[in-house]
Structure 1
């Protein structure tokens, strides 16, 4: 039964594509819907709460509108910096003044792109089964099999064990059965109540990006929060530089300098608070990456007092989390 979950298959969409190019979640998207009518696409029969655009090529969470607020929080201070603070910096630093102002503008565009890559892609969804899993071959009598089949016909999965043991790097871990998706969740998978999906290597559901953070978009989420931290520190630093230049030019104290450039003062306060938030989040996720944990596992104290079977050492943990290959998105394919 569990072997079926990760078995190879081919997809036909005007030709055949080898299953090696698909992730586990993408293979299950096709397998779990292969009894649906022809010419339907995967996103058209999706049972979760996701929102799809561009014929399934963009996969957002149900709270995608929060992106507008997040973009506002990022772009507004940069606009104020470029409009109200930049002119004095350009005059003070001459040749490099334009670069000082251009960098945060271009870096903001980069951050927005990373934000959409985080929010607009499949985080690692495990599509639902059409039926409960089949009984194990070993140790099942014909009467047990008959009862199982009767339960399936009646739409009941009462005989499905709630947990199952699987081996991870030589350590036995328990995986739970999901009654909503009718499958045994792979290790590190969890069901998100907001998106109503089981997600591979589930980290958390982030309201700021309006999407689950999982196996396929975690690296983009980390790039997003770390880049936002750099942007906050940059604006914070150069606003202070601007205040110092005002104090030197007018031979005044800090309070009078702030009165001459109140926007600098507001941006200093804003970016200081924001840097503590996203900076702390970045530091926390650096720790999680180095120890190969997820936020969900860490908050539930999964490895307190016992070994983490996913911890492969610092270098391999970073490589697996940040630099491993991401399979192509297949939600726009036709279901066969």
Structure 2
């Protein structure tokens, strides 16, 4: 229980933190005027919406939030918040601990169901000592046929949603750790995927023209 409480606290705090931390560029956070910003190529890095000279290429303007984000990764529609350099690792903490929490909850649910079945000897013939026991009322959960539905209710209401959440967290954790290993971002990943078919089409058209 202590482990579950700890994981739940970490997930709750990290979830609130990733939503509350403002990822926008520090020049916008501190309201530094444009004429005092670093002299760089304004034609390439000037954001006319934020009136900001972006000093690095990883600073992107989020059209959903209407601000330039430092180390832009993606706009999270679930949180309605941008993910950037300031809150990316908080998000990773949320995802990783969410994965651990849902795994622990699933294990606890399976242990609970097994305990109920073992005590009532429903659908577990090895707990019955004889064929007489299998045909007797001892197979009825706690002496009541209605209580025999407890494991089924737990599976439908608790286990199935937990498994779905577990797979969601697992997919998010795997995807983001692979991006970290590639030193890439979610935005760059989807941009490359979008540009790949276009490159393929242009290559085919070029080959047709040359032929």
Q: TM-score, normalized by length of structure 1?
A: 0.44
Alpha-carbon spacing, 1:300–1:258, altered in 2? closer, same or farther (3 Å)? farther
Distance 1:286 1:189 in 2: 21
1:118 aligns with one of 18, 33, 57 = 18
Unpaired segments ≥5 residues, structure 1 = 1-100, 139-159, 164-175, 306-336
Aligned partner of residue 228 in structure 1, secondary structure: helix
1:264 aligns with 2:164: no
Q: TM-score, normalized by length of structure 2?
A: 0.68
Alpha-carbon spacing, 1:133–1:222, altered in 2? closer, same or farther (3 Å)? same
Alpha-carbon spacing, 1:268–1:258, altered in 2? closer, same or farther (3 Å)? farther
- For 2:9, the equivalent position in structure 1 comes to 109
Listed one character per residue, the Cα deviations across residues 105-142 of structure 1 (whole Å, up to 9, x for unaligned) are 332122111112212122242417755899x899xxxx
- Tell me how many residue pairs correspond in the alignment: 168
Alpha-carbon spacing, 1:137–1:204, altered in 2? closer, same or farther (3 Å)? closer
Structure with greater contact order relative to length (CA < 8 Å, sep ≥ 6) = 1
Aligned-residue Cα RMSD (Å) equals 3.0
Structure having the higher strand fraction is 1
- For 1:298, the equivalent position in structure 2 comes to 189
Please give the residue correspondences for 1:1-336 in structure 2 after superposition, counting only pairs within 5 Å: 101-125=1-25, 126-127=27-28, 130=33, 161=43, 163=44, 176-185=45-54, 186-253=56-123, 259-265=149-155, 266-301=157-192
Distance 2:50 2:74 in 1: 18
Residue 294 of structure 1 deviates from its aligned partner by: 0.8
Structure having the higher helix fraction is 2
Aligned partner of residue 212 in structure 1, secondary structure: strand
8 Å contact 2:7–2:100 — kept in the other structure? no
Distance 2:182 2:95 in 1: 19
Aligned partner of residue 235 in structure 1, secondary structure: helix
8 Å contact 1:203–1:296 — kept in the other structure? yes
Query: 4+ runs of 1 displaced by more than 4 Å?
Result: 128-134
The structure having more radius of gyration, on CA atoms, is 2
Aligned partner of residue 300 in structure 1, secondary structure: helix
